[in-house]
Structure 1
């Protein structure tokens, strides 16, 4: 039997959607995807053009979320509507894990932060955070995604900025919620005329090629801002605060 997921609220920006990924939520997922696509396609689009687009969008969204669910995710958050013509290449994976050890949350968090130290994006950030008044770990790394050999001549290498919040569920010992943010960007240190294993650093006059790191930094700040709205909603013997009630009105419930 699938363990019940922990209930919490988190506000998402306009144009984002939370897509449930568990197998038992497939009907809800399908309905949510239909709503997302209906909002995304303009009414002025002719039916003979809209229908193929609708089917392709539905196929891709369903495939992405189902795959994440098969890998343990409970939900996927995606920007599904452009803002000023721009849809950021970002995603958030929500998952829950059980820790069968007898370690206290503080000990687990200390180990997580110690393990992440060698690859930490900001060496000045210790990674300790408070989420809804409780302790949590925040790790941030940047990876260069290798391009598979079979498509190395077609696709460029990309950088993946990953930020992960690992949060103990206060009223369920051993249960953790993990929120994993990913932002994809074009490397600024590769020659765009070459791809895959052939990619090389650009000449000095080509340093403006690639994604401005400030854009990725801003997207990370957006995720951090979203996490400041994270609130538990199923704490025993605790009445929701006015803030939590307001979040319930404007945010999404997990």
Structure 2
């Protein structure tokens, strides 16, 4: 309840417009059902160039890739995982983004503007900016992350993260984190296109109230 006698409205969720060939996998519940739906809806056809005898092995490998990405996203506290589900040249495009709750505690929880200013200041550099989205402002941070041989991150990747307060001054925060190795060239045109696509998707972000 605000001091003016009105109830602060907190969203029940969010919406994003994702491009054709991408899918959402919920990570808190319904994960198995979503993976089954993707597997039988999007991966039922084998691309040209894959021999008939290799079709089942191809589909099982794609399924393994999807399940691996979902498990990793869940371990990282994700709410939803978004990733391409249409194979390109016999494999899935190596890109994904995760929507997750972000714990930012302390007395400044309700002062979203101050927290955003601190986030931007603490990571100041050419890869940090602020962006207005529907219902508020987010800090955008872009970086390059080196591979960790023998661990989950086995290739260099380019990452972009948006951090924003949940509408309604609830003290909750949300992050939308994108990662891709692109085509192996982090500064190449293909990688740039994937980053631009992610930025365009985030531009459609809206809170939902049900």
Band the TM-score falls in, shorter-chain normalisation: 0.7 to 0.9
**Aligned alpha-carbon RMSD (Å):** 3.2
Counterpart pick for 1:174 among 154, 166, 171? 171
The residue aligned with 1:89 is 94
Offset at residue 115 of structure 1 (A): 2.1
Offset at residue 183 of structure 1 (A): 1.8
The residue aligned with 1:15 is 21
- Is 2:119–2:139's contact at 8 Å kept on the other side of the alignment? yes
Matched residues, number: 196
| Structure 1 residues 47-58: aligned runs within 5 Å | 49-58=54-63
| 1:226 correspondence with 2:201 | yes
In our comparison, the structure showing a higher alpha carbon Rg is 1
SS in 1 for 2:146: strand
SS in 2 for 1:127: strand
| Structure 1 residues 20-35: aligned runs within 5 Å | 20-22=26-28, 24-35=29-40
Offset at residue 35 of structure 1 (A): 3.4
The residue aligned with 2:145 is 143
Offset at residue 161 of structure 1 (A): 1.1
Q: Identify unmatched segments of 5+ residues in structure 2.
A: 1-10
SS in 2 for 1:102: coil
Counterpart pick for 1:115 among 110, 122, 127? 122
Offset at residue 61 of structure 1 (A): 1.2
Counterpart pick for 2:105 among 86, 100, 104? 100
| 1:216 correspondence with 2:186 | no
Structure 1 residues 90 and 27, CA gap change in structure 2 (3 angstroms)? closer
TM-score (norm 2): 0.77
| 1:159 correspondence with 2:156 | yes
Between Structure 1 and Structure 2, the one with more helix by share is 1
TM-score (norm 1): 0.65
